[in-house]
Amino acid sequence: QTAPTIKWRLTSGFPKSLDTIYGGAEVLAKRVKELTGGKFQIQVFAAGELVPGGPAALDAVQAGTVECCHTCSYYSFGKEPTFAIGSALPFGMDCRQANAWFYYGNGQKLMDEFFSNYGLQSFPGGNTGTQMGGWYRKELTSLDDIKGLKFRVAGIAGKVWAKLGAVPQQIPGGDIYPSLEKGTIDAAEWVGPYDDEKLGFYKVAKNYYYPGWWEPGLVIHFFVAKKEWDKLPAEYKAAFEAAAFEANVTMMAEYDHKNPAALSRLLSSGVKLRRFSNEIMQAAQKASQEVYAEESAKSPAFKKISEDYFKYAKVQNAWFSIAEASMAQFLHGAK
Amino acid sequence: MEALLTFSRLIDALTERIGKATTWLVMIVALISAGNASMRYSINWSSNALLEIQWYLFSAIFLLCAGYTLMKNEHVRIDIISGRLSAQSRAWIDIFGFVFFFFPMVYLFVSLGWPFFMMSFSGGEMSSNAGGLIRWPVKILLPVGFALLALQGVSELIKRVAFLRGLIADPTEKEGISAEEQLAAEIAATARGERV
Amino acid sequence: MNEFLIANMAPIMFGALIVFMLVGFPVAFALAANGIFFGLLGIHLGLLNESLFMALPERVFGIMNNDTLLAVPFFTFMGLVLERSGLAEELLDTIGQLFGPIRGGLAYAVIFVGALLAATTGVVAASVISMGLISLPIMMRYGYDRKIASGVIAASGTLAQIIPPSLVLIIMADQLGRSVGDLYEGALIPGLTLTALYVGFIFLVSIFRPAAVPALPLEARSLHGMKLLMRTLTSLVPPLLLIFLVLGTIFIGVATPTEGGAMGATGALLLALAKKRLSWRLLRQAMDSTAKLTTFVVFILIGARVFSLTFYGVDGHLWVEELLTALPGGVVGFLIVVNILVFVLAFFLDFFELSFIIVPLLAPVADKLGIDLVWFGVLLAVNMQTSFMHPPFGFALFYLRSVAPKEVKTSEIYWGAIPFVLIQIIMVSLIIVFPNIVSYGDSGHGDTKKPEVELSIEQLQQSGSSDAPAQKDDDLAKTLRGEK
Ligand code: NA
Ligand code: NA
């Protein structure tokens, strides 16, 4: 029996300008093609070429417009809060912990159970690592400085910031930079040093905060329409899975490779690196828990999966605080 | 044919009503937007609901006025060639256009727009922004707007056929004066110092 | 046959688009029909997936939640209210009196008022109609050459399109994925330079053909001295206030460019109210025209989205890219070809159609060639401005014809526009030769390369306090077991 030629289309939730995230889909397409001797071809479309970015990529898979997409499930948070868990939760797990949860914990099983309600099969396919906390025109010296802070932040994180008194604002993409420059908004968050540098925020808002506690390890997924997945020959499934693993690992490595140099460039251009104070972090963590309680009351799936997620996170953090953290502390503290 | 023309007049009346009512949104959305900007600047208060209602209303303007604009023959055409033809020939062009260009498009949008709305409605989709709005009211505008546009297309088609049969005057001849002519008259009156 | 179709789908589709549009049915539906027809053909030939059209609702939804396009009704509404408020008439009257007694003075007044109106709004029709109604008869009464008179009015009216705020720039920003504010800033100096070139042209005419632009006799003035000065100052207040409301609020950070439009619209309403010109009828008319214009503009975009879905599906964008990157002369070759193409297409298409069909195909190529997209957008906007002035289809000429006295021959209006079309071409060349004319903010698009600096741990340490809480050992043990 000869292997069939299969052509799929993949829509990315990201524009080509986010080259590292967008590149994840190209890693998958290239590897799948190589592993199947050129028989299984996946054509990659950037956000906007077939359908817009954001939640539209996932909708396009669900509607059958494309066979698969590469995007963050939290864009669909408005449909069902559980979609946020697939990508990142404030004070949730980092990249390695999330991989552990997905691959060896209950993550993959629980999320696929949830995604199957939407006819989707999911594969972790990239990670940004812990993000930065965004660019602020003024220093945040206390919780009071957050009151009335006009902040460009989306999704579940926006709900947490709103609880702290901020005014989450949605500004059209191209206008984020000028709005920050002119002071129409006071702060904006994006990804991390490498992607942030490209948008030029450092020229107009010098306070660069960390850590991005609302995205401690943003997972990007490949989503495949289940009915298309079921039609694939077993070897093609294996090729797809292997390629998704590779995209997942290499994106993180690529970010780790690119971010230090970008951060050093930012620092040398006068950026003030600032850490969120414990007061802010603790208040934000408390606010996050309130948000989780509210979402759990609305959605049984969110309640069930987020409980498993945070139970797992707690164990992970305890473990990471031993060898990992002390080694990091020693190395980073050494003169 | 007389029955069809009555039907066409009913559609026109409906389109006129919906169109005229919708035009008010132009001013309403401008006031909301200016208000939001002022309040955000002066008292640091704003909300995503206020931002989102702006594009909800913007969508309503062009989707609910689509049929109205068609009825007023204001969807732009390139009339380099057709402008030199007789009114009869132009009516034939329109009949061809409605059948082969217009109806396939509106059919696609109505038939695909409905499940698009239903997916959002049945899942109770909300905005993913803090304090944002529920989504189905804006998504239903898509199939509804195109359905109203389709209906007006039916009316226009009837009118073109009736015109070719000599039953009515050329429906593309704008009744009364155009917006530009109206504007010119008003400016002229203003220049003469009259109240308009 | 099928092989030929499959291999040449993109060029065939593009060629057919021209035929579809020339039929004379509304462009929006012709565009969509082209996309649907070739989509079905592509599916039949196995080039495209049956589910292709399922993307359409999402694509239209992307237009619906587009905050940038929301500025289109705002600026249109503002312009329409404003033109009925008597602002233009007052300006023309006063500035005309001020400049009238010098040679070419009325023409200068028209250019000056055209630029001022342009800085408050973006509606060419309104500017041309106002100036055509008020200035053209006066210019004719005092013996202006009809060609020069109508040319300067039509051209000054089109300044509305290039001096910010403007609909062209808003739509261009949307199509290029750049900030409206950046395009506004970038277009400011080219817009003013263009105004200066118009002035220069009139100056040359006043030297070489003084009879064409005579000075007004002093008795044509009804105001003198201090009275005239006061009138001038007071008539300048409302437009300056509006300029502040629209551009000022954007530049000082009160509003986004879209909201700036809403501020301007609200301001125009207040101005009309203050001048006691705001009637229900005026309001309804302005809203009615705005709604119809917004609808036809957005529908062209919807049609273009249906077209481009199939066009992208058959790799049309790659075809265009190969075609344009293979041009001799690299970037310069590309710019020359693109500008000639846009100039020629502008004879047939207005700027909405150009922006929605052509710009999305050109922008990725320009980006790939390393061309700054804000600069590119301003360049195209200046070029497209000619689409209003091209005889015989330019809209500005059409509007002027509708209000010009009968004695003015249509051919005179056409001939009068030609020098200004040439000035436009000069301006396009100036932007290409001196790209720095288009300067905008300190906006970062990451092109500026920073020197590589090693990230030092000291920098990191200094910048943040290390106040991580320590954990008790037994607590930790429990947590590790998942008991806590
Ligand atoms: Na982020
Ligand atoms: Na303007």
Is C73 near chain B, with CB under 8 Å? Answer: yes
Let me know how long chain B is: 196
Give exposure, C30-54, as e/b (b: 16+ Cβ within 10 Å). Answer: bbbbbbbbbbbbbbeeebbbebbbb
Segment C16-56, tens digit of pLDDT = 998 998 898 999 999 999 999 999 999 999 888 888 899 99
Of A45, A182, A201, the CB nearest to C251: A182
ipTM of the complex: 0.92
Q: Greater confidence, A155 or A22?
A: A22
pLDDT at C287 over 60: yes
Segment B154-163, tens digit of pLDDT = 999 999 999 9
d(CA C115, ligand 1 centre) in Å:
43
pLDDT at C330 over 70: yes
Percent of chain C with pLDDT over 90: 47
Of A50, A172, A183, the CB nearest to C253: A183
d(CA C187, ligand 2 centre) in Å:
10
Question: Which of B73, B67, B68, B72 lies closest to B90 in space, CA to CA?
Answer: B73
> Which residue's entry shows tokens 């309040």?
B39
Which of A67, A171, A181 to mutate to test binding with chain C, by most C CBs within 10 Å of its CB? A181
**A331 CB burial (10 A radius; 0-12, 13-18, 19+):** exposed
Of C180, C471, C482, the CB nearest to A175: C180
Q: What are phi and psi of C407, to 5 degrees?
A: -60, -25
Distance in Å, alpha carbon of C58 to nearest chain A alpha carbon: 6
Give exposure, B127-137, as e/b (b: 16+ Cβ within 10 Å). Answer: bbbbbbbebbe
- List, edge to edge, every strand of the sheet that includes A6-12: A40-45, A6-12, A68-71, A219-225, A120-127
> Which H or E element spans position C9?
helix C9-22
- Give yes or no for a contact between C388 and C394, defined as CB atoms under 8 angstroms apart: yes
CA distances from C477 to A308, A315, A321, A324, C473 (A): 20, 10, 11, 16, 6
Distance in Å, alpha carbon of C242 to nearest chain B alpha carbon: 13
d(CA A99, ligand 1 centre) in Å:
19
Handedness of CA C7, C10, C15, C20 (dihedral sign): positive
Give exposure, A146-169, as e/b (b: 16+ Cβ within 10 Å). Answer: bebbbbbbbbbbbbbbbbbbbbbb
Residue C162: CA count within 13 A, CB half-sphere: 32
pLDDT at A268 over 90: no
Cβ–Cβ of B27/C255 closer than 8 Å?
no
Q: In chain B, what residues touch C86 (CB-CB under 8 Å)?
A: 190
Instruction: Give the alpha-carbon dihedral of A325, A328, A329, A333, to 10 degrees.
Output: -170
Model pTM score: 0.91
Domain ranges of chain B: 2-191
Q: In chain C, what residues touch A202 (CB-CB under 8 Å)?
A: 444
Q: Greater confidence, A121 or A334?
A: A121
Segment C433-460, tens digit of pLDDT = 999 989 876 544 434 333 344 444 444 4
Segment A73-102, tens digit of pLDDT = 999 999 999 999 999 999 999 999 999 999
Is C289 near chain B, with CB under 8 Å? Answer: yes
Cβ–Cβ of A178/C177 closer than 8 Å?
no
Which stretch of A108-112, B188-192, C208-212, C353-357 has the lowest confidence by average pLDDT?
A: B188-192
Q: Greater confidence, C122 or B101?
A: B101
CA distances from C315 to A155, B83, C10, C24, C341 (A): 34, 35, 7, 28, 21
- What one-character-per-residue DSSP string does A172-213 give? -GGGHHHHHHHTSSSEE--S-HHHHHHHTGGGT--EEEE--T
Cβ–Cβ of B52/A170 closer than 8 Å?
yes
Query: Which residues, in sequence order, are bridge partners of residue A6?
Result: A40
* Average pLDDT rounded to a whole number, residues C255-280: 91
β-pairing verdict for A167-168 and A219-225: unpaired
Q: Greater confidence, C167 or C460?
A: C167
Residues of chain B with pLDDT under 70: 174-180, 190-196
Question: Which ligand sits nearest to residue A18's alpha carbon?
Answer: 1
**Helix/strand/coil for A27:** helix
Q: How far apart are CA B124 and CA B136, in angstroms?
A: 8
The token duo for C215 is 């000075």
- Give yes or no for a contact between A106 and A49, defined as CB atoms under 8 angstroms apart: no
Between the ranges B96-100, C166-170, C223-227, where is the mean pLDDT highest?
A: B96-100
Q: How far apart are CA A240 and CA A34, in angstroms?
A: 11
Residue C108: CA count within 13 A, CB half-sphere: 21
Give exposure, C13-27, as e/b (b: 16+ Cβ within 10 Å). Answer: bbeebeebbbbbbbb
Question: Which ligand sits nearest to residue C170's alpha carbon?
Answer: 2
Question: Which ligand sits nearest to residue A130's alpha carbon?
Answer: 1
Q: How far apart are CA C381 and CA C268, in angstroms?
A: 26
Rg, C-alpha atoms of chain B: 21
- Give yes or no for a contact between C70 and B52, defined as CB atoms under 8 angstroms apart: no
Distance in Å, alpha carbon of C31 to nearest chain B alpha carbon: 9
- Give yes or no for a contact between A296 and A303, defined as CB atoms under 8 angstroms apart: yes
pLDDT given for residue B175 in this prediction? 57
CA distances from C305 to A52, A61, C131, C249, C399 (A): 11, 19, 37, 33, 30
pLDDT given for residue C476 in this prediction? 64
Question: Which of A99, A72, A97 lies closest to A311 in space, CA to CA?
Answer: A97
Q: Greater confidence, B186 or C322?
A: C322
Cβ atoms within 10 Å, residue C470: 7
- What one-character-per-residue DSSP string does C378-418 give? HHHHHHHHGGGTSTTT-HHHHHHHHHS-TTS-HHHHHHHHH
The token duo for A324 is 């990992």
Percent of chain C with pLDDT over 70: 91
* Average pLDDT rounded to a whole number, residues C133-137: 87
* Average pLDDT rounded to a whole number, residues C167-184: 89
- Give yes or no for a contact between C191 and C168, defined as CB atoms under 8 angstroms apart: no
pLDDT at C466 over 60: no
* Average pLDDT rounded to a whole number, residues C342-370: 88
When the pLDDT of each residue in chain C is averaged and rounded to a whole number, the result is 86
Cα angle for residues C286, B59, B110 (degrees, 5° grid): 125
Instruction: Give the alpha-carbon dihedral of A178, A16, A58, C180, to 10 degrees.
Output: 30
Q: How far apart are CA C245 and CA C396, in angstroms?
A: 27
- Give yes or no for a contact between A230 and A119, defined as CB atoms under 8 angstroms apart: no
- Amino acid sitting at position C477: A
Cβ–Cβ of C25/B191 closer than 8 Å?
no
Of B116, B120, B130, the CB nearest to A158: B130
> Which residue's entry shows tokens 């289809």?
C393
Question: Which of C202, C190, C173, C192 lies closest to C428 in space, CA to CA?
Answer: C190
d(CA A148, ligand 1 centre) in Å:
20
Q: How far apart are CA C385 and CA C162, in angstroms?
A: 7
Give exposure, B45-79, as e/b (b: 16+ Cβ within 10 Å). Answer: ebbbebbbbbbbbbbbbbbbbbbbbbbbbbbbbbe
- Give yes or no for a contact between A265 and C446, defined as CB atoms under 8 angstroms apart: no
Cβ–Cβ of A150/B40 closer than 8 Å?
yes
Q: List the beta strands (DSSP E) in C44-145.
A: none
* Average pLDDT rounded to a whole number, residues A239-264: 96
β-pairing verdict for A272-275 and A207-210: parallel
- Give yes or no for a contact between B172 and B88, defined as CB atoms under 8 angstroms apart: no
Q: How far apart are CA A112 and CA A122, in angstroms?
A: 6
